[in-house]
Structure 1
Amino acid sequence: MTEHDGRGGASPAAVAMIVARLYRQLAQASADDLNLTYAQLSALARIRQYGPIRLGELAALEQIAAPTLTRTVRPLAEAGLIGKEPDPSDGRSWLVSIHEEGRALIDRIRRERAELLARRMARLTAEQREALDRALPVLEELLTEGAPPPDGEPG
């Protein structure tokens, strides 16, 4: 049952809880066999989207400090998922880019998450699917205030 805000709408706490639970379930569906954190998967997805990219720019997109990002991407490079090279336009900076293994991993994760969600959505009635379709623009609107672009998310 959904908690309401007293004005006829769902409460912010209820929306946050449901969205977080759904995301966590989707993330766990593909991350169980990976030795990567959410932060690492997010960085990998952004590197795929924007790379080659400077570490400082990636840190800004991820909204984390540069030293934290350096610790985040190190295991990605060690696993052969990304490459790191000096920035030819600024010798003090590094560029990171995704390798084929990293691209394949992101593709697999997205496919697994989509398959899980498709199975769950298949259980919905036509009326529930229509309600979900109507809710998507509203949920997307909630992403716009101060959030990084949603297409950079790992899944």
Structure 2
Amino acid sequence: MTSNSRFDQMFPLGEKNDAYAQYFSGQSYLAPLTAGSVPVSNVSFEPGCRNNWHIHHGADGAGDQILLVTAGSGWYQAEGEEPISLEPGTAIRVPAGTKHWHGAKADAWFSHVAFITPGDGVCNEWLEPVTNEEYDQLPTTAQQA
């Protein structure tokens, strides 16, 4: 396990995710794990941090996002669906074209490994933030869904 003063997890915390800060509420961290045709990154979220609603696009089976939860406690929600509590060992496949968000619970750090299935037309569309009103309705770690 990698240990730092913030959070114990199996992969590096990485640097502050400043390049994408405009698409997050709160502080996230990014640690690229592999490069090449299928870049894989460890993304960590401070308590309460979450990304904006967004959609991954792709054609002919490309553009699915895979999230493999490695540490902490978080949320995933697809538009129109109930939020899913994320704990280490949870794997989520987000089909291309699905509007969704993911991030930490209000009182817990959270980390997942993320990658996108490669192929034609792969791109990301960032949308509106998850409002505090939406987020504050979710249970905290102490009262899990």
TM over 0.5: no
Which is richer in helix? 1
Which is richer in strand? 2
| TM-score normalized with structure 1 length | 0.25
Structure with max Cα Rg: 1
